[in-house]
Structure 1
Amino acid sequence: MNSQTDELGKVEISPEVIEVIAAIAASDVEGVSSMRGNFATGVAEKLGRKSHRKGVKVDLTDQGIILDVFVVIEYGFSIPSVGQEIQTSIRQELQNMTALDVKEINIHVVGIHFEQKDNLISDTEY
């Protein structure tokens, strides 16, 4: 748990809260198709339980907070640009909501989503 102290007492922020904020911030970036969770997350979602922490791993180290974010990118988007936008979005949201500074935000692109094109009709069809 990460905590901050003031005159009134402590405010503790659990790693799970950091995961949720980061996952939502990453999902809102244009070009991100989905977040990729682990096997347990997949099973939970099959049972009808949505996981807002999916695709984010938080490590609280002596050097600071390190995030690993696992995403699937939409085909046609620049992977480096989307990755940078994810890092910026997560950093801003965590700073705004928790006042925490993150040491590293590592983006892992684990797939590309190809849009399925149904019922295409060409101009040359008679």
Structure 2
Amino acid sequence: MTPDGAPGAEESASVRIADDVVAVIASIAATEVEGVAGMSGGLVSGMAEMLGKKQLSKGVKVQVGEKECALDLFLVVEYGVRIPEVAQRVQENVKRAVESMTGLKVVEINIHVQGISMHSEDRTDEVKVR
């Protein structure tokens, strides 16, 4: 700092956004899309939920660089929806949310459909997985 308290030219600050933060944003944005029944977090996530620990970032793998990020989303979709259309809407919504909230450029969003939910009225019902 300079004597008057202002930051000096040699000082620079940086902001690093944790992978989990990006994953939570992506998960919430994905589940907002009509036709998405939920996220598929696998065995570890399922065990955590049974123990009462809800993982907001489940079903999302994130690779965050300094200015860019790539995401893999593992979805359960509702029975009867057109999967390619739902996947495209998820990609658009996630990209918009992550880029606007974090300032990171989303370079890749891969959608992996892991299962079909037979009950669209209640998203907590039984899920059929391949």
Matched, 1:56 2:70: no
Count how many residue pairs are aligned between Structure 1 and Structure 2: 111
Residue 5 of structure 2: aligned partner: none
Distance in 1 (CA, whole Å) between partners of 2:86 and 2:100 is 21
**CA distances 1:36-77 after superposition (whole Å, capped 9, x unpaired):** 002211111101010000100012369942211000110111
Distance in 1 (CA, whole Å) between partners of 2:66 and 2:110 is 17
Gaps of 5+ in 2: 1-10, 122-130
Distance in 2 (CA, whole Å) between partners of 1:61 and 1:99 is 12
User: Cα gap change, 1:35/1:116 in structure 2, threshold over 3 Å: closer, same or farther?
Assistant: closer
Mapping for residues 77-92 of structure 1, pairs under 5 Å:
77-92=81-96
Q: Percent of pairs identical after alignment?
A: 46
TM-score norm. by structure 2 comes to 0.78
Q: Find runs of 4+ consecutive structure 1 residues off by over 6 angstroms.
A: none
TM-score norm. by structure 1 comes to 0.80
Choose between structure 1 and 2: higher strand proportion. Answer: 1
Residue 26 of structure 1: aligned partner: 30
Distance in 2 (CA, whole Å) between partners of 1:84 and 1:116 is 19
